[in-house]
Each structure stands twice: as structure tokens, then as C-alpha cells.
Amino acid sequence: MKAELVTLLAMLAVCTSPISAQAKFPVAEVDQILTNPSQYDGNILALHGIAGTVALESRTFTVLDSKSSNAGGTSARFVRVTIPQKGQMVMPAPG
């Protein structure tokens, strides 16, 4: 159990690292996506932000704008992410 948890945390750290994501995909901030969403239609990209609300049952989570002065507050801008049932992504921990 402990080894699985350590492995999960290590995978999450590597997968969410902007440096490793930048090497594979273009990186976009939450604010960029909200400003011009059509620019990203049909593209795979790395989303840079802070994990907000996580709902395991519905396989959704929010990503808050990390550069906003209100990040984590009630007025922070966010993007809701839904993982398809076939998706293999690990749900992030809030924060």
C-alpha cells in the first residue's frame, strides 16, 4: 500500500510538472484557454494551473488559474476537466 502511494505521488509529480509536460505538449494557462478557447479545439496540450475541486464519482476536477491573485479563492477563473471512462489519468489531489 505504501509503495503504491509513493508510486502514485511520483507519477503525479512527473505528469504535472510543467517542465516534463513542456517537452511533450504545448503548455497553456487557464486564462489563455478562457480568453481564446477556439485556438485549442482538437489539440492536445498541457494545462498549467492548480487543481481545485475534485469529484471522483463524476471523474471531474477543476484547474484554477495559477497566476491569478485570487487563485484558490471564490472568484478564481477555472476550467473544468472531465476524464472519459476509458481514460487512464490519475485524479489529482486538490492544491
Q: How crowded is the C-beta side of 45, counted as CA atoms within 13 Å?
A: 17
Is residue 28 within 8 Å of 9, Cβ to Cβ? no
Structure confidence by residue, pLDDT tens digits, 13-42 = 555 555 554 567 888 888 888 898 889 888
Band of pLDDT at residue 1, cut at 50, 70 and 90: very low
Within a domain: residue 34? yes
Within a domain: residue 1? no
Q: Which helix (H) or strand (E) holds 9?
A: helix 2-16
pLDDT at 50: 86
Within a domain: residue 13? no
Structural domain of residue 41, as residue ranges?
Answer: 25-87
- Three-class SS of 13-58: HHHHCHHHHHHHCCEEEHHHHHHCHHHHCCCCCEEECEEEEEECCC
**What is the number of structural domains in the chain?**
1
Task: Give the cell for residue 18.
Answer: 510543467
Residue 64's CB is within 10 A of a number of other CB atoms, namely 22
Within a domain: residue 5? no
For the cut 70, the answer to whether the pLDDT of residue 11 exceeds it is no
Within a domain: residue 15? no
Within a domain: residue 7? no
Band of pLDDT at residue 65, cut at 50, 70 and 90: confident
Within a domain: residue 30? yes
- Strand-pairing partners, residue 47, are 28
Within a domain: residue 78? yes
